[in-house]
């Protein structure tokens, strides 16, 4: 059976974990945490990075930092993972779901302005498959209406919008290191803070509402309870694992892009004949090879393709169920029909993509799709 995903280990993970264990410091915000955060700040120019135990946690921190009050409105694409919306719902926000573009699962930036009201506070673009949303458009709306932008960059590590790293454009951004992402630590995530106004408070929220981080830098002589927060920081064991992955970031990305390009080349003739659509990379975006997906012509065709691959021991999977139609939110949604989102819900299928997927397997998958 070719699985959909297989977490890749670089080989140094357990060595670094042992190192952190024998150093006697295994709680959070130690040496490996600092190394990982500095790596991101230096490589991508994020102003401040804080590792978290998941991307969901990073989104929750972002929602607290945005100072969401009950009834505030947050604009989010409906075609996304639950956490994108959940983090803001927990702070009492009302979610205004936006549709996808007709040729890409990303939020249709052209529709956002019509959803803005005096209650709107935040826009949350999700860079689906690591491909950028139209950030110039979104940032200019944010400026015009005085809104905040939180990038859900869970899938978007090492990807760019017009040469700007994703995660560096919005006021805040959230990344994931869940085992299904390009760079992993089992569960894990990171908040990036690009607006100085939020840096001080972010550290406090991260450390259970205390000014502990300042205390350890010697900036205050005692620490105590100063704000809301939670235990958002991961242990050094998680950070040590992540460091082994970051050392191999370039190699991992190179390998994933090779696989992605082989899929694209191999499937292009079928796409040209109209059997399905290949991923459409916007001209302002790069591809970080987080995911290889096809968009079938109907739900029926997609079901047939998934079943056919399964009969041949290949696991392909569909993706999000529209959040505006979810059991939890459908009664709260304003009834607008989001047809592009529903189209991706019905027709999008993801093919296996992981570091150890060899060329023969990719050929085998392509040939199986051809039959």
| Spatial contact of 66 and 122, defined as CB atoms under 8 Å apart | yes
Question: Cβ of residue 178: shortest distance to ligand PLP, in angstroms?
Answer: 4
Question: Cβ of residue 256: shortest distance to ligand PLP, in angstroms?
Answer: 15
| Spatial contact of 233 and 28, defined as CB atoms under 8 Å apart | yes
Question: Cβ of residue 54: shortest distance to ligand PLP, in angstroms?
Answer: 3
Give the angle subtended at the CA of 279 by the CAs of 180 and 319, to the nearest 5°. 40
Task: Output the six-digit token pair for 211.
Answer: 């000014």
| Contact residues for ligand PLP, defined by CB under 6 A | 54-56, 80-81, 83-84, 126, 152, 154-155, 176, 178, 189
Question: 259 or 291: whose CB is closer to ligand PLP?
Answer: 291
| Spatial contact of 152 and 85, defined as CB atoms under 8 Å apart | no
Question: 157 or 202: whose CB is closer to ligand PLP?
Answer: 157
Question: 80 or 100: whose CB is closer to ligand PLP?
Answer: 80
Give the three-class secondary structure for 1.
coil
Give the angle subtended at the CA of 272 by the CAs of 268 and 274, to the nearest 5°. 120
Q: Which residues contact 176 (CB under 8 A, 6 or more apart)?
A: 54, 55, 154, 155, 188, 189
| DSSP character at residue 233 | P
Question: Cβ of residue 148: shortest distance to ligand PLP, in angstroms?
Answer: 18
Question: Cβ of residue 14: shortest distance to ligand PLP, in angstroms?
Answer: 22
Question: Cβ of residue 60: shortest distance to ligand PLP, in angstroms?
Answer: 10
| Spatial contact of 201 and 256, defined as CB atoms under 8 Å apart | no
Question: 5 or 277: whose CB is closer to ligand PLP?
Answer: 5
Question: 81 or 293: whose CB is closer to ligand PLP?
Answer: 81
Question: 178 or 302: whose CB is closer to ligand PLP?
Answer: 178
| Spatial contact of 159 and 151, defined as CB atoms under 8 Å apart | no
């Amino acid at each position: 059976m070719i699985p959909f995903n297989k977490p890749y280990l670089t080989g140094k993970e357990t060595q670094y974990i042992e190192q952190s264990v024998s150093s006697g410091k295994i709680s959070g915000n130690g040496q490996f945490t600092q190394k990982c955060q500095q790596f991101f700040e230096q490589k991508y120019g994020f102003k401040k990075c804080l590792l978290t135990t998941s991307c969901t946690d990073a989104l929750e921190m972002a929602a607290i930092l945005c100072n969401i009050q009950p009834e505030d409105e947050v604009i989010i694409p409906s075609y996304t993972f639950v956490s994108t919306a959940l983090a803001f719902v927990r702070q009492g926000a009302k979610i205004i779901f936006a549709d996808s573009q007709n040729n890409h699962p990303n939020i249709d930036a052209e529709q956002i302005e019509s959803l803005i009201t005096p209650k709107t506070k935040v826009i949350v673009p999700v860079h689906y498959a690591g491909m950028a949303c139209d950030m110039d458009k979104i940032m200019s709306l944010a400026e015009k209406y005085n809104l905040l932008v939180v990038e859900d960059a869970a899938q978007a590590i090492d990807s760019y919008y017009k040469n700007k790293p994703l995660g560096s454009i919005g006021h805040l951004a959230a990344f994931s290191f869940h085992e299904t992402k390009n760079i992993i630590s089992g569960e894990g995530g990171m908040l990036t803070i690009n607006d100085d106004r939020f840096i001080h408070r972010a550290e406090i929220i991260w450390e259970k509402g205390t000014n502990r981080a300042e205390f350890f830098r010697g900036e205050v002589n005692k620490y105590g309870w100063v704000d809301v927060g939670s235990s958002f920081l991961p242990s050094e064991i998680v950070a040590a694992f992540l460091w082994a992955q970051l050392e191999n970031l370039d190699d991992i990305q190179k390998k994933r892009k090779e696989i992605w390009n082989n899929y694209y080349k191999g499937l292009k003739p079928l796409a040209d004949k109209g059997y399905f659509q290949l991923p459409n990379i916007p001209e302002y975006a790069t591809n970080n090879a987080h995911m290889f997906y096809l968009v079938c012509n109907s739900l029926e065709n997609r079901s047939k393709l998934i079943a056919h691959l399964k009969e041949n021991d290949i696991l392909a999977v569909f993706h999000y169920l529209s959040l505006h139609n979810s059991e939890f939110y459908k009664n709260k949604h304003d009834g607008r029909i989001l047809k592009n989102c529903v189209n991706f819900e019905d027709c999008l299928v993801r093919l296996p993509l992981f570091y150890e997927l060899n060329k023969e397997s990719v050929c085998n998958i392509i040939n199986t799709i051809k039959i």
